[in-house]
Amino acid sequence: MNLSQKKILLGLTGGIAAYKVADLCRQLVKAGAEVKVVMTKGAKAFITPLTMQALSGNPVHDDLLDPSAETAMGHIELAKWPDLIVIAPASADFIARATAGMADDLLATLCVATAKPIALVPAMNQQMWANQATQANIKTAAKRSFHIWGPASGDQACGDVGFGRMIEPLEIAQKVDAFFNHKPLKSQHWVITAGPTVEKIDPVRYLTNRSSGKMGYAIAQAAANLGAKVTLVSGPVSLDSPNGVERVMVQSAQDMLQAVESATENSDVFVACAAVSDYRAKNVAEQKMKKQGDDGLSIELEQNPDILQWVASNRDCFAVGFAAETQNLIDYAQTKMERKGIQMICANDVSRADIGFGSDHNELTVFYRAEQELETYKLGPKLKTELAQDLVELVNTIRK
């Protein structure tokens, strides 16, 4: 790791994982970073400011209204100072306060007062992590461009097992290093599709599916974070555009094909993550269709264009498909890979509530043909944001 001349503000909140942050601080300093530490009142119950001062080589800050700070505006000074703010551990309470924009202590105020990037490293009991309020706060934080690193799944101090465990100090330090230095996709152009498509039946009715777009958006953000130029062709979703990504919004499969044809003209990688409708109404009614007694309604459908197959046949780029299945996952995915003539396919079981449509977690079985052999990789289960980075790096490795 090389963090020479990088300024890292390390924020500690209350949680048993705070004791591990001493090692994180040591690793960041060893890598060449200048580290300043801010601690909440809760954090000081688990590890002393003196420890963090000795490891960072700088005084620890814990007072919002510090009379010794320049012009008594220490929070503004600190907010402008770092290149990156890392909050580890980030407790459920702190995530809630930061998401709400509260400024009731020094660390929370810094999050409001800074324009610098912020990484939250969650650490809490598995039930607290699973709580609907916490999940809603995490989603909001991600939409507001907080980086979310973790949590991991495993044994917890309370005896429970599950998601909520803080990722290890070495992994956090590596993520800091990657944030500044790891740009392996520089000069590459990635085109990614995401979300559902919408096929009109009449002016008020349509055919669609339950895709949330989360996986495709996570892949787009991961590719952009790693240095790629990214074009995201998205169906209708309720997600904000990822940072540093060009987003093209479309409705139907035909709209998506047209956008993909244009975007992939000089692309290096195409990832077909969108759940494209297989069929559309052959004849779209100009007016709202009315009930026709008790005989039901018949709608004639015709097949939509196969966007992934078109790219595989007409573009010289590395094509990656997705197979969202509810049964026979491996067989269906391999058959789809051969039929479409693509180099890689990612299969996920959408029948599982924990990794299906709308979930923040996913698990992928990735197939790739290397010469005559079919290679298999298992990714996850992880948060989609973390899984996306693993997948993007795997694609880049295999392409070489």
Q: Do residues 367 and 375 make contact, with C-beta atoms less than 8 angstroms apart?
A: yes
Place of tokens 């094509």: 319
- Domain span at residue 162? 7-181
Within this chain, do residues 245 and 163 fall inside the same structural domain, yes or no?
A: no
Please give the backbone phi and psi of residue 42, each rounded to the nearest 5 degrees, phi first. -65, -35
Q: Do residues 188 and 271 make contact, with C-beta atoms less than 8 angstroms apart?
A: no
Residue 158 designated active-site: yes
Per-residue pLDDT, averaged over 354-376, amounts to 81
Q: How high is the pLDDT of residue 356?
A: 67
Q: 239-289 pLDDT, tens per residue?
A: 989 888 999 999 999 999 999 999 999 999 999 999 999 999 999 988 988
> Of 159, 181, 203, which marks where a domain is finished?
181
Q: Which of 36-45, 170-179, 186-195, 352-361 has the least mean pLDDT? A: 352-361
Q: At 266, which CATH number? A: 3.40.50.10300
Within this chain, do residues 137 and 38 fall inside the same structural domain, yes or no?
A: yes
Q: How high is the pLDDT of residue 65?
A: 73
Q: How high is the pLDDT of residue 69?
A: 59
Within this chain, do residues 135 and 255 fall inside the same structural domain, yes or no?
A: no
What string of DSSP letters covers 35-95?
EEEEE-TTGGGTS-HHHHHHHHSS--B--TT-TTSGGG-HHHHHHHS-SEEEEEEE-HHHH
Q: 386-400 pLDDT, tens per residue?
A: 899 899 999 999 987
Within this chain, do residues 80 and 208 fall inside the same structural domain, yes or no?
A: no
The SS3 assignment for 377 reads strand
Question: Is residue 136 domain-resident?
Answer: yes
Q: Which of 73-82, 87-96, 140-149, 195-204 has the least mean pLDDT? A: 73-82
Within this chain, do residues 118 and 36 fall inside the same structural domain, yes or no?
A: yes
Q: Which of 82-91, 228-237, 362-371 has the least mean pLDDT? A: 362-371
Q: How high is the pLDDT of residue 352?
A: 79
Q: Do residues 146 and 114 make contact, with C-beta atoms less than 8 angstroms apart?
A: no
Both tokens assigned to 60: 């620890």
> Of 181, 204, 224, which marks where a domain is finished?
181
Within this chain, do residues 101 and 196 fall inside the same structural domain, yes or no?
A: no
Both tokens assigned to 244: 């540093």
Q: Which of 25, 111, 158, 273 is catalytic?
A: 158
Both tokens assigned to 126: 């598995």
Nearest CA to 213 among 198, 199, 228, 229?
Answer: 198
Q: How far is it, in rounded angstroms, from Cα 17 to Cα 192?
A: 37
Question: Is residue 201 domain-resident?
Answer: yes
> Of 155, 181, 207, which marks where a domain is finished?
181
Question: Is residue 2 domain-resident?
Answer: no
pLDDT band for position 112 (50/70/90)?
A: very high
Both tokens assigned to 145: 């461009």
Question: Above pLDDT 90, what percent of the chain?
Answer: 68
Both tokens assigned to 147: 């980086």
Per-residue pLDDT, averaged over 63-83, amounts to 73
Q: How high is the pLDDT of residue 296?
A: 78
Top-confidence residue, 337 or 291: 337
CA 229, 232, 233 angle in degrees (round to 5)?
145
Q: How high is the pLDDT of residue 72?
A: 47
The SS3 assignment for 14 reads coil
Within this chain, do residues 283 and 238 fall inside the same structural domain, yes or no?
A: yes
Q: How high is the pLDDT of residue 375?
A: 86
Per-residue pLDDT, averaged over 297-314, amounts to 93
- Domains: count for the chain: 2
CA 126, 127, 131 angle in degrees (round to 5)?
120
Average pLDDT, the chain: 90
Within this chain, do residues 278 and 140 fall inside the same structural domain, yes or no?
A: no
Within this chain, do residues 120 and 205 fall inside the same structural domain, yes or no?
A: no
Rg (CA), the chain: 24
Within this chain, do residues 196 and 176 fall inside the same structural domain, yes or no?
A: no
pLDDT band for position 63 (50/70/90)?
A: confident
